[in-house]
Amino acid sequence: MDPVPVFNRLELRVPPLLLVLGFALVMALLDSTLPMFELSLPWAQGLGPVLMALGAACAAAGVWAFRRAGTTVNPTRPETSREVVREGIYAYSRNPMYLGFALALLGWAWLLSHGLALALLPGFVLYMNRFQILPEERVLARHFGPAYDSYQAQVRRWI
């Protein structure tokens, strides 16, 4: 039997949108149950929704570019991708959907103005890097070979 660490089983298993919703829910629960971590953030009521909208637009631009290219948007099955998408927002970020999710969570945490909600953001980024992005990149590098290697060399992972 192959001794695979238990945490490796999380690779490409949790759909990122579900993860975002889970993080957002935990942030809201922390906000409602631990008011002592409330912060006074500047422009919370204005900047929070703007960041959330910017995040949603970034993620939507990624989905739109994939749809135009006729490739999958299923993050748990990167091997079903049909091509390396380099156009549109993918010329600036290899992961605009995940970047958008992170921006939306930042906006939510900012709107909540809660210290622990903000403290969860690095956890989201670390989880996405370890259990979603790195495994995706391994699969895509095998699937597309030099075309994906070239894309990785030209475009940053996040921004």
Domain boundaries, the chain: 45-154
Average pLDDT over residues 71-92: 96
Average pLDDT over residues 5-19: 90
Distance from C-alpha of 95 to C-alpha of 89, rounded to nearest angstrom: 9
> Is residue 98 very low, low, confident or very high in pLDDT (cuts 50, 70, 90)?
very high
> Is residue 2 very low, low, confident or very high in pLDDT (cuts 50, 70, 90)?
low
The CA distances from residue 16 to 6, 55, 56, 69, in Å, are 19, 14, 14, 21
Handedness of CA 55, 56, 57, 58 (dihedral sign): positive
- pLDDT for 7 beyond 80: no
Q: Specify the 3-state DSSP secondary structure of 149.
A: helix
Distance from C-alpha of 52 to C-alpha of 93, rounded to nearest angstrom: 18
Amino acid code (one letter) for 6: V
- pLDDT for 86 beyond 60: yes
Q: Quote the pTM value.
A: 0.94
Distance from C-alpha of 159 to C-alpha of 152, rounded to nearest angstrom: 12
Check residue 45 and give its pLDDT: 94
Check residue 8 and give its pLDDT: 86
